[in-house]
Structure 1
């Protein structure tokens, strides 16, 4: 395994034409459809960095900033911003383009975490990431704080899952 990789080596792009079946009653892209695009492009980016299989550990955030209208192009750009031992933070920028006027808008941003999986099916080490551009350095410098926030949120989620349990509402309490 390579000890380090540049951010640019994981940079991945995806574009799609927004058609009526992809939209809601407001003629804007379904949020779930966009989230599927985000997970797909982010997973490819993580695989490029890890050079092997990955699994989505969490979708840390999806911030919808502007709607994406029918007959627009939605384009996504993803890249690894930070790595830990076996995990990678991936940033995705989502841009819409009015195909008639050429007007482009950043309409969403997202952070996801992926874990590299080895041949034994267990988490495996990933190379460190080297940011080069101002954008890459900006995202890299605060990544450890986001990782700590993810860790805290995961602990709260586990606690909540334990509190809620698996009992169906109609089943008696024990």
Structure 2
């Protein structure tokens, strides 16, 4: 069984001039794309097969990421369905010279696993065995929007 920490991925993108909008900060579409790519990697680690984005339940931009900073994406699977996985994603702006971080963006993405014929295929259960895994899972569940918000 795949554990939550097996799906944990942290990736970095340096925010270059081509990644920015007219305010010289990372374009929201680029941040969403980076989150989608890393989230799919977490989903594939659990599923053991290709995964595609089914929905974005929330995508909250709290702060900008200036040109020249690094966008750090944190991703992990915290819940499974029959053929789908829920992935928590957080983006941080990081100063390259110091490593100082600040949370900028939070999201919940749902991915669906596909078989060789590109049809939905079952995913395995997720193991949450350690205190760290339980802490991450609780944080993801707490960050979900209320049912009335969906």
**Alignment RMSD (CA, Å):** 2.3
Structure in which a larger fraction of residues adopt helix? 1
- Whichever of the two has the greater Rg, that structure is 1
- Are the equivalent residues in 1 in contact too, given 2:88–2:140 (CA < 8 A)? no
Q: 5+ unaligned residues in a row in structure 2: which ranges? A: none
Please tell me whether residue 75 in structure 1 is matched to residue 59 in structure 2: no
Deviations 1:97-153 (A, max 9, x none): 12244321011111000111122332111111123324323146559x76x949x95
Structure with greater contact order relative to length (CA < 8 Å, sep ≥ 6):
2
- Whole-Å separation in 2 of the counterparts to 1:140 and 1:103: 23
Match for residue 8 of structure 1? 5
Of the structure 1 ranges 118-127 and 51-60, higher mean CA displacement relative to structure 2 is found in: 118-127
- Whole-Å separation in 1 of the counterparts to 2:39 and 2:87: 6
Give SS of 2:121's match. coil
Aligned length: 147
Q: 5+ unaligned residues in a row in structure 1: which ranges? A: 154-174
Alignment of 1:1-174 (within 5 A): 4-131=1-128, 132=130, 133=132, 134-139=134-139, 141=141, 149=147, 153=150
Instruction: State the TM-score, normalized to the length of structure 1.
Output: 0.76
- Are the equivalent residues in 2 in contact too, given 1:72–1:97 (CA < 8 A)? yes
- Are the equivalent residues in 2 in contact too, given 1:45–1:80 (CA < 8 A)? yes
- Whole-Å separation in 2 of the counterparts to 1:38 and 1:141: 18
Instruction: State the TM-score, normalized to the length of structure 2.
Output: 0.87
- Whole-Å separation in 2 of the counterparts to 1:86 and 1:96: 33
- Are the equivalent residues in 2 in contact too, given 1:82–1:140 (CA < 8 A)? no
